[in-house]
Amino acid sequence: MVDRGLLYREWKQNQVVILLSIVFLVLANPLSIVNTYLSYQGCLAHHDPQYCDFIVNYRVNNLIGINWVPGVILAVCFLGMERSKGTMDFILSLPYNRSHIFQTKFWLGGLVIVLSQLIGFLLAWLLILVYQPEHVYYFEHSSVGVIVISFMAYCLLMAAGALTGNVFAQLLTAFATAVLPYLIVALPAGNVEVLLGVSIWELFPSPKAYFSLTSNLLYLVPISYVANEWLANSKYILLIPSVMSILFYLIGFISFKKHPSERNGHFFLWKRLDRPVQILVMSFGILGFGLFGYYSGNSFIGYVLGMVIGAVVGFFVSYFFIYKKTKH
């Protein structure tokens, strides 16, 4: 599955990025505990102890909330940068099949992300035992959840990198995928409200049912996990990003193995994706600009004009990004 020669090559090629990612992911969790403890000590130094509480609450934003960033950087270095610099052609010319190349890249980054955070979790747990805070909230749930979410982000970027021909295309495809479920639901729903003159929530038995459905649908949007609202809900919600990780891994593996690599510099390596994605971009442009035009002047003239502008903008944006080859 993972070849030692390829592993050594990836290590030498991305040594600095890998080491910095390990250091950050190992220290992020314990440093959050240390920061909370130092804040508590600072409170004791300037206020009466009865007004100072030493509480570790992972629902409050802390350093591990950006643990998904190293996964993004690693995926870009492993695939996007190789495509943009043209060195991917050299790797593919080596006496290794594509499966071994992708598996080596994928699992090297995956192990860095998971094992580093597990070490950080252990160090944070030891610090909690040493400092003995009054209360600890969401420690295990948040720590494990961030591991799952950061791994999902890494899988998403690796899948995007296996489909695209340069760094910009990889990042843009990953971001578009991260918000795609929301766009697929929100834009058509907004246009239905304009055309029918009725709010979507009025079609539900009660406002509570509507807001319950919309809040649950947000968990199907990968980018929604960047915020920590999922902490207060069931721990089984983490099964969703876990399944997404498997799906993104399979997409990346199959794409890297089956799709051509000779379209260097193009947005997508698989030419058949160009037209469907262009149609999708134009559709979102029409729906999005139509809503903007309507709510800008509260008129159907603005709505139609916005749709026309959206179609033109969507066409030129998609044409420029998808069909124009990027020079190495």
pLDDT at residue 84 in the model: 81
pLDDT digits (tens, 9 = 90+) for 79-120: 988 888 878 878 888 888 888 899 999 999 999 999 999 999
Sign of torsion, CA 203 204 208 214? Answer: negative
Q: Which 3 state secondary structure label does DSSP give 165? A: coil
pLDDT digits (tens, 9 = 90+) for 15-44: 999 999 999 999 999 999 999 899 888 888
pLDDT at residue 206 in the model: 65
pLDDT at residue 322 in the model: 82
pLDDT at residue 47 in the model: 76
Say which residues have a Cβ less than 8 Å from residue 324's Cβ, sequence separation at least 6.
none
pLDDT at residue 145 in the model: 92
The yes-or-no verdict on residue 328 having pLDDT over 60 is no
Tell me which DSSP letter residue 292 carries: H
The CA distance from 292 to 298, in Å, is: 10
Please state, rounded to an integer, the average pLDDT across all residues of the chain: 86
How many residues can be counted in the chain? 328
Q: Is the CB of residue 104 less than 8 Å from the CB of residue 7?
A: yes
pLDDT-derived band of residue 153, with 50, 70 and 90 as boundaries?
Answer: very high
What pTM did the predictor assign? 0.91
Q: What is the mean pLDDT of residues 117-136?
A: 93
pLDDT at residue 26 in the model: 96
Q: What is the mean pLDDT of residues 246-274?
A: 83
The answer to which of 20-29, 176-185, 245-254 has the lowest mean pLDDT is 176-185
